Amino acid sequence: MQVKINGQMREIRAVQMKNHIVEMIDQRLLPFKIKIQQLPTWQDTVKAIKNLVTRGAGSVGVAGAFAIAQAANEITDTLVAAFEHQLEEAAQIISQARPTAGTLSAAVKFCLESATKGVTTEEKQRLIDKAAQQIQSADIHASESLGKKGSELLKPGSRVLTHCNTGPLAIQDYGSALAVIYFAHLAGNLSLVYISETRPWLQGSRLTTWELQQWEIPHQLIIDSACGYFFSKNLIDAVIVGADRIAVNGDVANKIGTYEKAVLAHVHKVPFYVAAPIFAIDINCPSGDQIAIEERPPREVRTVIGRLPTGDMGTVQVAPDHTEAANPIFDITPAKYVTGIITEQGVLTKINTKNIQKLVSKSQTSSG
């Protein structure tokens, strides 16, 4: 994406690799400071993934692929057995940098499998490099494709509500839900984006606002619980969100707060779309009931991260010490509330297990 850094426009990506040096936009400092981290070794990249320098399903997967490519490149042993042993060790560590990120382990696995076709260590290194670049290219292709296809759903003058962060910081080059918004904007059909702030981490306030500002797309930030008000005033024409995981029956696991918006959209007869690359569909998960909801520390509810009066990033405490808090970070939106699932293969509106299975197998054929 085009970003103004020190007064100059630069084309940058959330995660990229040049000459086996990984570059990452430090998302922890956004939107207040744009800092590109240079990560010369695979261990540096692992540390950055662990420390949330980058985040988002796509970016974490790409970072993992680049890390394994760095690792392969750094192994000087030319004995294949020794090379493979060291690579396997690195792969384990990389996959564990974010144990619950499906795209991370999938990316590492894909790169390792690609290497098996090589005979020498040099060949394996080259194949892993290629596989890592493929993962990035696949994201870019999926993002552009689903963005363009999804954008056709929006009529001129559309006012869209989105939640959390689903833009180029999360999935290259345009995001998922935000890719749809971007291409609708290019087509001149977008009038306004409502961004819900997305407590507890405020990805809406900190990241989505920043992305829409880079793209110069009109937006308004609102608190999470104001969404109902804007529905009641008929100010929302469509909801578009991303997905952390889609079950085969079409139930959607996504950032906490998604479910509420789906219920509100349903009650107000507003279409509710889920935009995600096909990799978000979990073919082994029959329904949302099977998805365990991660709970994170109560501390995140008792505090808020942001820019302190000193200019540094830090937290304020907003509740008494030791206040009990529940902090589920995802919720499940049942398929019945989803108007359409937007993927790189098109928009699925007849959502059921058979059609989703068909979609996934079609995608495997086309990419295989």
Nearest to 161 by CA among 245, 268, 246: 268
Of the pair 21, 263, the CB lying nearest a second copy is at 263
Residue 307, Cβ density class (10 Å: 0-12 exposed, 13-18 middle, ≥19 buried):
middle
DSSP strand pairing (158-163 vs 190-196): parallel
Let me know if 244 is a catalytic residue. Answer: yes
Of the pair 76, 100, the CB lying nearest a second copy is at 100
User: 3-class SS at 313?
Assistant: strand
Of the pair 145, 333, the CB lying nearest a second copy is at 333
DSSP strand pairing (313-317 vs 303-307): antiparallel
| Helix (H) or strand (E) run with residue 182 in it | helix 177-186
Nearest to 60 by CA among 296, 285, 280: 280
Q: Catalytic pick from 129, 139, 244, 331?
A: 244
CB of 221 to a second copy, least distance (A): 4
CB of 145 to a second copy, least distance (A): 30
Nearest to 58 by CA among 161, 165, 150: 165
Angle between helices 102-115 and 57-74 (to 10 degrees): 40
CB of 72 to a second copy, least distance (A): 39
CB of 259 to a second copy, least distance (A): 4
- Contact footprint for a second copy (CB under 8 A): 31-32, 194, 196-200, 202, 205-206, 209-210, 213, 218-230, 232, 256-257, 259-260, 263-264, 267, 293, 298, 301-309, 314-320, 323-328, 331-332
CB of 159 to a second copy, least distance (A): 12
Taken in order 161, 337, 264, 295, is the CA torsion positive or negative?
Answer: negative
The catalytic residue positions are 244
